Amino acid sequence: MVSKVVILTGAGVSAESGIQTFRAADGLWHNHRIEEVASPEGFTKDPALVHQFYNDRRRQLLSADINENAAHVALAKLEQHFAGEVLLVTQNIDDLHERAGSTQLVHMHGELLKKRCLGCEQITAVTDDLSVESVCEYCNSTAQLRPHIVWFGEMPLQMPRIEKALLQCDLFVSIGTSGNVYPAAGYVQLAAGNGAETLELNLEASATNSLFDQCRLGLASKLVPEWVEELLSQ
């Protein structure tokens, strides 16, 4: 009987909502060198370019075209109706899990709708574009605001909470992630090493596919609701 579940989601869970994944041929990295837009060094070198990259994505996320899909909705339903504990750990910076109703949620790579001041460290909401001229509403400094995103070389957020849940869970499910970015890609080993069952739901086999007990390939909007119904009927 499963009582503690940790779910890791990646870009694939939001793909059918119209948000590009990273590593597909036409993905987000297609037009950008990763280190230019997703590293602290890239931000120091060309903050305007990095702001533009995230401003474009924020505008898209807030447009009327983008909505949660059946996979997000099913995961929120699981949290609401499952008798045990569910922790949803997302690598995604969109807010589609929240829009679907998930609350036990960790954004380990940050959030597109938050900004952080490098001067006073305050984290605040943002829906407008950021620029090098943006002023921090707390400390009034200019050119210190950055998107609240975890870039390469930076520590993902809420690591102790995530690791504790992984060591205690009896089921770990990875959805829509290619398994290329650590520490998230190592979570299957951490959970399995402590006796958890492991399941991958993905469009194609991830880089860590062989480490999972079970794998189902297909669209998240189909696989996730099916799996949620199975778990709720156990």
Q: Which listed residue (6, 7, 38, 188) binds ligand BJW by CB under 6 A?
A: 38
Q: Which listed residue (17, 102, 174, 177) binds ligand BJW by CB under 6 A?
A: 177
CB of 140 to ligand BJW, least distance (A): 28
The verdict on whether 30 is a catalytic residue reads no
Measured between alpha carbons, how far is residue 115 from residues 6, 35, 183, 197, 222 in Å?
27, 20, 23, 37, 34
13-32 residues in contact with ligand BJW (CB under 6 A) are 15-16, 21-23, 27
75-114 residues in contact with ligand BJW (CB under 6 A) are 91, 93, 109
State residue 88 phi and psi, 5-degree precision. Answer: -105, 115
Q: Which listed residue (174, 198, 202, 208) binds ligand BJW by CB under 6 A?
A: 202
CB atoms within 10 A of CB 67: 11
Which neighbouring-strand residues pair with 89?
8, 106
Task: Note whether 148 and 110 are within 8 A (CB).
Answer: yes
Q: Which residues contact 114 (CB under 8 A, 6 or more apart)?
A: 123, 124, 125, 126, 147, 148
Strands 123-125 and 110-117: antiparallel
CA 13 to chain CA centroid, Å, is 9
**Site mask for ligand BJW (CB under 6 A), range 127-166, x = bound:** ----------------------xxxxxxxx--x-------
Residue 181 binds ligand BJW, judged by CB under 6 A: yes
CB of 139 to ligand BJW, least distance (A): 25
Note the residues at the interface with ligand BJW (CB under 6 A): 10-12, 15-16, 21-23, 27, 38, 91, 93, 109, 149-156, 159, 176-178, 180-183, 202-204, 206, 219-220
What positions carry a catalytic annotation?
109
